[in-house]
Amino acid sequence: MLFDGKHQKTLTKVIAIVAIVAFLGFGLVAGFLAVGGGGCGTTDPLQQAVSDAQTSVQQGTAAVADAKKALKQSPRNAQAKQDLAQAQSDLGQAQITLAQAKLAINRQDPEALSSALAAAKSAPGNLDVVLGLVTVATTQNNPAAALPALQVYTSRNPKDSQAFAYWGQVAEQAGQRNQAILAYQRFLQLAPDDTLAPDIRNRLAELAKPVTTG
């Protein structure tokens, strides 16, 4: 695969899905424990993290509703539009945090993926949120679940070369050969001199080979 072996150092900054899982998944859990894990008596710190995240999601949902009301009252108000966009982004982050907290308790919890999918819908233009969904979907061996969110993000951010590299990697993992080729080609169009470009070209060469069966 593109991100294995000798190229790992070069690729750390961008699209090593295993590294994403380790950082976003277990890193966030460690953050939960560091912030809220002490002094809780018999409370399970992982369960407490879920509870805290659920509260944040509830607050974020209410904030989005309030921002929508404000925008409805003043549809031409630029600040109201910005406030709604920020509220939606914050809600997406809270939903990803909830997904990660659930994942820490049960790596196959379907509610973790549901929360991550909801996050990507709340904040489709936030790459951190979309990559949070990638983390959950990849951890649950369901990378295809993250592909629609990557498609939406790249349609909104068509010059984000790194996003196309992520998309190509996830598409490969999901067995979507043609989709991976298109994403990698777009990456090379946007960033032909990037340090990842040689590896992307190698992946394209591999994907261009005829599929052999048996």
Q: Return the pLDDT at 32.
A: 40
Mean pLDDT, rounded, for 141-147: 98
DSSP the chain: -TTSGGGHHHHTTTT-HHHHIIIIIIIHHHHHHHHH-SS-TT--HHHHHHHHHHHHHHHHHHHHHHHHHHHHHSTT-HHHHHHHHHHHHHHHHHHHHHHHHHHHH-TT-HHHHHHHHHHHHH-TT-HHHHHHHHHHHHHTT-GGGGHHHHHHHHHH-TT-HHHHHHHHHHHHHTT-HHHHHHHHHHHHHH-TTSTTHHHHHHHHHHHHSPPP--
Mean pLDDT, rounded, for 156-177: 97
Q: How confident is the model at residue 183 (pLDDT cuts 50, 70, 90)?
A: very high
Average pLDDT, rounded, for the chain: 85
Residue 80 inside a domain? The answer is: yes
Residue 213 inside a domain? The answer is: no
Residue 2 inside a domain? The answer is: no
Mean pLDDT, rounded, for 189-199: 96
Mean pLDDT, rounded, for 176-201: 97
- Between residues 208 and 91, the one the model is more confident about: 91
Q: Return the pLDDT at 26.
A: 41
Q: Return the pLDDT at 9.
A: 36
| Distance from the Cα of residue 43 to its chain's centroid | 29
> How far is 28 from 97, CA to CA, in rounded Å?
8
Residues 15-72 pLDDT 10s:
343 344 433 444 444 444 444 444 445 679 999 999 999 999 999 999 999 999 999 9
Residue 107 inside a domain? The answer is: yes
The domain of 184 spans 7-208
Q: Which range has the worst mean pLDDT, 1-15, 130-144, 152-166, 175-189?
A: 1-15
- Report the CATH number that the domain containing residue 146 is assigned in CATH: 1.25.40.10
By the 8 A CB rule, do 52 and 35 touch? no
Residue 214 inside a domain? The answer is: no
Residue 194 inside a domain? The answer is: yes
Q: Return the pLDDT at 209.
A: 87
Q: Return the pLDDT at 23.
A: 39
- Give the count of domains, the chain: 1
Residues 90-132 pLDDT 10s:
999 999 999 999 999 999 999 999 999 999 999 999 999 999 9
